[in-house]
Structure 1
Amino acid sequence: MILDLLFPNRCIHCNRIIDGHLIVCDICFEQIHFTHFDYSSENSLKEKCKLLFPIENAYALMQFEQENLSRKIIHQLKYRSREKTGKILADWVTENLDFKNKKPDLLVSVPLHPKKEKERGYNQLHLFTKTLSDFYGIPFEHHLLNRNHYSKAQALKDKKHRLETQNTFSLTKKISNQHILLIDDVFTTGNTLATIAWEVLKEGNNKVSILVMAVDE
């Protein structure tokens, strides 16, 4: 209680004091560019994925535009030790995403390299994925994939190096006849998710869908 008085929680955008379970105030929330995608229908993210790998469905919560608030939110989640932001983002997803009759069998988060996860202290997708799993009643797997190489953040790479993802990921066990929902924070070139998708699809009769916190249009 004393700490709350001395160090109150503040909106990450305008610095207004807000409740401890929030990350932005009501006014700034209205500035977030949500996609309002329909998971079961065609959308721009699905069209991007189709150019890279066979996909069933795709959903992005927000637009990841230059200098917009979604960029700041995800930056806080990944680089400012605000792991709880993952739960807040997942709660926003559950308010907007209806799987209808296309519910996946398993939620799989994109892994960090163990060295990077140790440096950061957490994987920014784990709490997000678990929250979705609890809400929708879909099992999750954080360790279906290995990230085989340590590298700097995608955001810090130039385009050429972002495309160099061969042999970056491998499956830790065989899977078959599963509809996998791959979960990541931001879709930029799509190369990371494409690399993972092909690892999943080359196994027996699997299907892949995508869910990301934000898509860079």
Structure 2
Amino acid sequence: MILNLLFPNRCLRCNRIITSKEIVCELCFDQIHFTHYLFNANNLLKEKCRLLFPVENAYALMQFEEESLSREIVHQLKYGRREKIGKTLAEWVTERVDFGNDPPDFFITVPLHAKKLRKRGYNQLHLFADTLSKHYGIPCDHNLLKRNANRRAQAKKDRVHRAETDSLFTCTHEVTDKHILLVDDVFTTGNTMSSVAWEILKSGNNRISVLVMAEDY
């Protein structure tokens, strides 16, 4: 209580005091550029994925534009030690996404390298995916994938070096005949997602769908 009085939660955009469960105020919420995609319909993200790997469905919650509020939200989640933002983003997803008649069998998250995980203290995807898992009643596996190398974040690399994702991941155990939803924060060039997808596809007769917090335009 005392900490809340001394250090109240403030809107990421305008710095207005807000409740502890919020990340932006009601006025700034309208500045978030949501994609308004439908999970089970064609959209720009699905088209991008199809150029890289076979995909069933794809969904991005927000547009990840320069100087946008969505970019600030994701950056605060990843680098500002505000893990709880992941729960709020997941709640926004559940208000918008219906898996219809072909729900995934389980979710998986893109892992951080152990060194980066120790430095950050958490994987920014875990609370996000776990909140989705609880809402939809679909299990989430954070351990299926292992990251083999510690590479610089995609957002901090030029386009040439973003392609350096060969053998970036391996599956820790065999998975076959499953519809798997890949969960990540930002879809940029799609190279990381593609590396993950092909590793799972070659593991067995699996199908892939994609869900990300934001899509980089």
- Per-residue CA distance 1:95-152 (angstroms, 9 max, x = gap): 0001111200010000000110010000000000000000000000001000100122
**Structure 1: how far apart are the matches of 2:62 and 2:204?**
33
User: Which structure 1 residue ranges, 5 or more long, are not aligned?
Assistant: none
Query: Hey, what does 2:168 align to over in structure 1?
Result: 168
Amino acid of the residue matched to residue 211 of structure 1? Answer: L
Q: TM-score with structure 1 length normalisation? A: 0.99
Amino acid of the residue matched to residue 122 of structure 2? Answer: Y
Q: TM-score with structure 2 length normalisation? A: 0.99
Q: State the 1:155 CA deviation.
A: 1.2
Amino acid of the residue matched to residue 60 of structure 2? Answer: A
Answer yes or no: is 1:180 the counterpart of 2:176.
no
Amino acid of the residue matched to residue 98 of structure 1? Answer: D
Identity of aligned residues (%): 63
Answer yes or no: is 1:22 the counterpart of 2:34.
no
Q: State the 1:156 CA deviation.
A: 1.0
**Structure 2: how far apart are the matches of 1:2 and 1:202?**
54
Answer yes or no: is 1:9 the counterpart of 2:12.
no
- Once the two structures are superposed, the pairs formed by residues 102-117 of structure 1 within 5 Å of their partners are 102-117=102-117
Aligned residues: 217
Runs of 4 or more consecutive aligned structure 1 residues displaced over 4 Å after TM superposition = none
Query: Hey, what does 1:61 align to over in structure 2?
Result: 61
Query: Hey, what does 2:146 align to over in structure 1?
Result: 146
**Structure 2: how far apart are the matches of 1:112 and 1:180?**
19
Amino acid of the residue matched to residue 179 of structure 1? Answer: H
SS at match of 1:56: coil
Asked if the contact 2:176–2:204 (Cα under 8 Å) also holds between the matched residues in 1, the reply is yes
**Structure 2: how far apart are the matches of 1:5 and 1:191?**
44
Output the aligned Cα RMSD.
0.6
Amino acid of the residue matched to residue 33 of structure 2? Answer: H
User: Which structure 2 residue ranges, 5 or more long, are not aligned?
Assistant: none
**Structure 2: how far apart are the matches of 1:167 and 1:49?**
19
- Once the two structures are superposed, the pairs formed by residues 201-216 of structure 1 within 5 Å of their partners are 201-216=201-216
SS at match of 1:13: coil
- Once the two structures are superposed, the pairs formed by residues 65-144 of structure 1 within 5 Å of their partners are 65-144=65-144
Amino acid of the residue matched to residue 188 of structure 1? Answer: T
SS at match of 1:18: coil
Q: State the 1:2 CA deviation.
A: 1.0
SS at match of 1:77: helix
Query: Hey, what does 1:199 align to over in structure 2?
Result: 199
**Structure 2: how far apart are the matches of 1:109 and 1:23?**
23
